[in-house]
Chains A and B, each alone.
Chain A
Amino acid sequence: MANFIFRRLVSAVLTILVVSALTFSLAFLSGNPAIAVAGKDSSAAEIARVREFYGFDRPVAEQYVDWLGNALRGDFGRSYHYQQSVHDMIAQRLPITLGLGAAALALALVLALPLGILASLRQGSWIDRLMLAISVVGQAMPTFWLALLLIVLLGLNLRLLPISGNSSLAHFVMPTVVLAYFAMPALMRLTRAGMIDALQSDYIRTARSKGLSPSAVVLKHALRNVLIPIVSIAAVQLGALLGGSIVVEQIFALQGLGALSYDATLRSDLPVLQAITLLVAAFYVGLTLFADLLNAILDPRIREGW
Chain B
Amino acid sequence: MADKSDDTLRIGWGGDGVMVNADNYYGATRAGIWFTKMVWDTLIERDAATGEYKGNLATEWSWVDDKTLELKLRQGVTFHNGEAFDADDVDYTLNTVSAADSGVKFAAIVSWIDHVDKVDAFTVRIVAKTPFPQALEFLSGPMPIYPNEYYQAVGPEGMSNAPIGTGPYKVVEMKPGEQYTLIRNEAYTWGSPKPVAGITNVIIREIPDKQTQVAELMAGGIDVTADLSPDLVGKLTEVPGVSATMSETLRIFTIGLDAANRTQNKAVNDVRVRQALNMAIDRKAMVDNLMAGAARVISTPCNPLQFGCDETQAVQYPYDPEKAKALLKDAGYENGFDLALYAEAPATEAEAIMGYLSAIGVNVTLNRLPYDAYRDAQMKGEAPAFLFNWGSYSLADAAASVSFFFKGGDDDFAQDKEVQDWLAMGDSVTDPAARSEAYGKAIHKITEQAYWIPLYSGVRGYGWDSELNFKPYADEIPRFYEYTWK
Contacts from A to B (Cβ < 8 Å): 30-33, 35-36, 38-49, 53, 79, 81-84, 89, 148, 151-152, 155-156, 159, 162-167, 250-253, 255, 259-260, 262-263, 266-268
Contacts and interface: CB of A to CB of B under 8 A. Distances in A.
Given A84-B176, A250-B208, A30 B221 contact: no
Contact of B209 (A48, A49, A84, A250): A250
A45 B177 contact: no
B473 interface: no
A206 to B, nearest CB: 56
A32 B393 contact: no
Contacts of B21: 81-83
A32 B376 contact: yes
Contacts of B375: 31, 35, 47
Given A40-B371, A46-B108, A252-B212, A156 B157 contact: no
A61 B457 CA distance: 44
Which 9 pairs of residues, A with B, have the shortest CB-CB distance? A44-B410, A31-B376, A81-B20, A35-B372, A253-B207, A36-B372, A255-B178, A83-B157, A35-B375
Interface of B: 14, 17-18, 20-21, 23, 26-29, 103, 105-108, 155-157, 160-161, 176-179, 205-209, 211-212, 215-216, 218-219, 221, 370-373, 375-376, 379, 390-391, 393, 404, 409-411
A44 B376 contact: no
Nearest to A41: B391
Contacts of A166: 178
17 contacts: A31-B375, A35-B375, A39-B106, A41-B391, A43-B404, A43-B410, A43-B411, A44-B411, A45-B410, A46-B106, A79-B20, A81-B21, A83-B26, A84-B176, A148-B211, A164-B207, A164-B216
A156 B209 contact: no
B221 A255 contact: no
B196 to A, nearest CB: 29
Contacts of B376: 31-32, 35
A47 B106 contact: no
A73 B44 CA distance: 47
Given A43-B108, A151-B212, A30 B372 contact: yes
Contacts of B206: 253, 255
A251 B209 contact: yes
Contacts, number: 128
A45 to B, nearest CB: 6
Given A41-B391, A83-B157, A263-B20, 15 more contacts: A31-B375, A32-B376, A35-B375, A38-B105, A40-B371, A44-B379, A49-B107, A84-B161, A155-B215, A155-B219, A164-B207, A164-B212, A164-B216, A253-B206, A253-B208
Contacts of A49: 107
Nearest to A45: B409
A255 B177 contact: yes
A89 B176 CA distance: 9
B14 A253 contact: yes
Given A163-B219, A164-B212, A259-B208, A82 B20 contact: yes
Contacts of A48: 410
Contacts of A81: 20-21, 27
Contacts of B205: 164-165, 253
Nearest to A42: B106
Contacts of B156: 83
B176 A82 contact: yes
A163 B176 contact: no
A268 B372 CA distance: 9
A156 B219 contact: yes
Contacts of B409: 43-45
Contacts of B216: 163-164
B221 A163 contact: yes
Contacts of A159: 219
Contacts of B17: 263, 266-267
A260 B105 contact: no
Contact of B215 (A40, A53, A163, A260): A163
B408 to A, nearest CB: 11
Contacts of A163: 212, 215-216, 219, 221
A49 B107 CA distance: 9
B215 A151 contact: yes
Nearest to B208: A250
B296 to A, nearest CB: 21
A74 B123 CA distance: 48
A82 B390 CA distance: 25
